[in-house]
Amino acid sequence: MNQKHWHNLSWIPAFIIGLGAVGLGISWLLHPEPWILDQPPNEALLQTTFADLFTADINRHLPDYLRVIYRFFGWWVVSIGLLIMTFVKVTRMGTSLARNSILGILFIILIGIYYMVFNFIPTSPFKVAMHILAVLWFISAIASGRLEE
């Protein structure tokens, strides 16, 4: 494979990772009850159902609180995704410093997400998305290693 193909395989998967983060963040922003998106793992962690939580009078404003927290989380994920996409687009990952920097940060983020999901919410429906992001990261890392300076 020539250098142009390796270069494309180094930046396109990283850009898609950013795009995926934007998509996931938007889903948390726009869903009317975003805690439902990962309801089973959340209920397993809480050891109760959301219905039981919301019926208690003391928790009558809990849905409003959760909505704010999930909206904040959604904006945070969208922001991270936009930063990734902007960095990749601006640098085109044309130098080893650019490639190693973004891939190093993405690696740390992925390890942290894997740790949290497998230790706290192992039944999360987002595990598939995590595996896809990891494969994209791996493709980008391999292609980056094949590039000549």
pLDDT of residue 148: 86
Residues with Cβ within 8 Å of 69's Cβ and at least 6 positions away in sequence, in order, are none
Question: pTM for this one?
Answer: 0.93
Asked whether the beta carbons of 50 and 35 are under 8 A apart, the reply is: yes
Residue 2, helix vs strand vs coil = coil
Q: What is the pLDDT along the chain (149 residues), one digit of tens a residue?
A: 899 999 999 999 999 999 999 999 999 999 999 999 999 999 999 999 999 999 999 999 999 999 999 999 999 999 999 999 999 999 999 999 999 999 999 999 999 999 999 999 998 988 999 999 999 999 999 999 999 87
Residue listed under structure tokens 């990261």: 137
What's phi and psi for 50, nearest 5 deg?
-65, -35
